Amino acid sequence: MEHVDVVIVGAGLSGIGAAHHLQDRLPGLSYAILEAREAIGGTWDLFRYPGVRSDSDMQTLGYRFKPWTAEKSLADGPSILEYVRETAREAGIDERVRYGHRVRRASWADGRWTVEVEGHEPLSCAFLYVCGGYYRYDEGYLPAFPGAEDFEGERIHPQFWPEGFDYTGKRVVVIGSGATAVTLVPAMAEQAAHVTMLQRSPSYILSLPSRDKLAIKLRKRLGDQRGYQVTRWKNVAVSTLVYQASQRFPKLMRRLIRKGVSARLPAGFDVDRHFNPTYGPWDQRLCLVPDGDLFRVLRKGQASMVTDTIERFTAGGLQLTSGEHLEADVIVTATGLNLQAFGGIELVVDGAPVHLPDHLAYKGMMLSRVPNFAFTIGYTNASWTLKADLVAEFVCRVLAHMGQHGYTACTPVDEPHTERKPLLDFEAGYVQRSLHLFPQAGADAPWKLGMNYAQDVITLRHGSLDDGALRFR
């Protein structure tokens, strides 16, 4: 059996970043990256639907150590994918990735993990680091629609977009109201005969410039690295301010968002019906549209919006509860994602299966009573990579501490009386459907999942490792 110091699971945005931190800070450690798919990129390689892009600015979605230098701050999927792959190439990380290595089981015994890989020999490692995100790649969320098989046109889930699919001149209905739907509608409207966005309930939608003019000026004056860092902190501050204001003054923020939407729509548009969510701002993630592209196609009449529920699919489209019938040649079910903890890996510690809901998440990145194990879950109210970078830095600190003191194991230990709460305090449907499968959080630090980047910088990058909960031996 092959032995390495660290096994990283996943070669997406988080995994490549983790490997970069590891080989930069602890060059003496051996590591392997196991990737279930046949390519680097994770989410950004998986999703190929029209217009796929980030709903976070690249100054915060990008790595701390590698400046984003392209002009567009809200970047498209192919550009982000190339950024991740370029990072891997530059550091030689791409040569360490083992493709087609799907991890099924990992067992801890005698001070090491045995990592079982489908179709390959197992590996042994001292530390297991799961960076596969929490999306389930082999299936998306699809409600049971009555009469779905009656529809005679094309029915597509965005997670499995057919290569080269031609929708030119076709009537398209996009079912959904989240980030995927608001991306698809303007992207498809340029070629389709017409696109209808059918939503059961509205979401908050903000328009932001695709290019950050200040970021471009700062790079010219300060250089790529310094300009990038200043812009990164500027964007962190702005997003934190918007989030905190939304939590403290929801009525005010609702009015401001509504005012921005109304200004970009034609007179007489029913804003209260189509852009008035039932929940407060940031109780679910805000949808960002670059340069108001969604509002532009609505103004031009290339797209329309319907807020209603589906009674059933028909041969030619959708019959709605209101009695309206939507004619369609193509129906895109942008109905959401399914979550999966740790890529579905079965964990076993000293012969006992790890039932995730029985364990607490230490600082949102390690599991109580599970030795030498870490995972990455990003922020729900900010860019994923902000937290991924901090997790990688913390893991490196832990490994360095273990090496300096001769420790072979570190295990977070919770107290029996620790109050338990859901890991993610977020109302989005894709989260609520799957929370029962994930570990839990505590009410207080270090068991509470932090959602404040500035605070996490202090505790994860600079805080003491000797907090009484993380035990070394």
pLDDT tens digits for range 1-17: 999 999 999 999 999 99
pLDDT tens digits for range 98-125: 999 999 999 999 999 999 999 999 999 9
Which pTM was predicted?
Answer: 0.95
Give the confidence band of 428 by pLDDT, cuts at 50, 70, 90.
confident
Tell me if 325 sits within 8 A of 314, measured CB to CB: yes
The reported pLDDT for the residue numbered 431 is 78
pLDDT tens digits for range 231-257: 999 999 999 999 999 999 999 999 999
The reported pLDDT for the residue numbered 19 is 98
The reported pLDDT for the residue numbered 34 is 98
% of the chain at pLDDT higher than 70: 100
| C-alpha to C-alpha distance for 473 and 471, rounded to whole angstroms | 7
% of the chain at pLDDT higher than 90: 87
Whether residue 374 is predicted with pLDDT greater than 90 in this model: the reply is yes
The reported pLDDT for the residue numbered 443 is 87
Exposed/middle/buried for residue 68 (C-beta within 10 Å: 0-12, 13-18, 19+): buried
The reported pLDDT for the residue numbered 380 is 84
| C-alpha to C-alpha distance for 60 and 382, rounded to whole angstroms | 8
| C-alpha to C-alpha distance for 37 and 305, rounded to whole angstroms | 36
Give the confidence band of 451 by pLDDT, cuts at 50, 70, 90.
confident
Q: What is the rounded end-to-end Cα distance, in angstroms, of the chain? A: 25
- List, in order of start, the domains of the chain with CATH numbers: 2-138+338-472 (3.50.50.60), 158-223+250-335 (3.50.50.60)
For 187-200, what is the mean pLDDT? 97
Whether residue 51 is predicted with pLDDT greater than 90 in this model: the reply is yes
Nearest to 291 by CA among 186, 389, 176: 186
Whether residue 189 is predicted with pLDDT greater than 80 in this model: the reply is yes
Position with higher pLDDT, 305 vs 336: 305
Give the confidence band of 400 by pLDDT, cuts at 50, 70, 90.
very high
- How is residue 114 written in tokens? 């045995």
Tell me if 372 sits within 8 A of 409, measured CB to CB: yes
Q: CB within 8 A of 282, min separation 6: which ones?
A: 204, 242, 243, 246, 247, 253, 381
Q: For the chain, give the mean pLDDT.
A: 95
Tell me if 439 sits within 8 A of 341, measured CB to CB: yes
Tell me if 446 sits within 8 A of 363, measured CB to CB: yes
- How is residue 43 written in tokens? 């989410």
pLDDT tens digits for range 81-97: 999 999 999 999 999 99
Tell me if 338 sits within 8 A of 433, measured CB to CB: yes
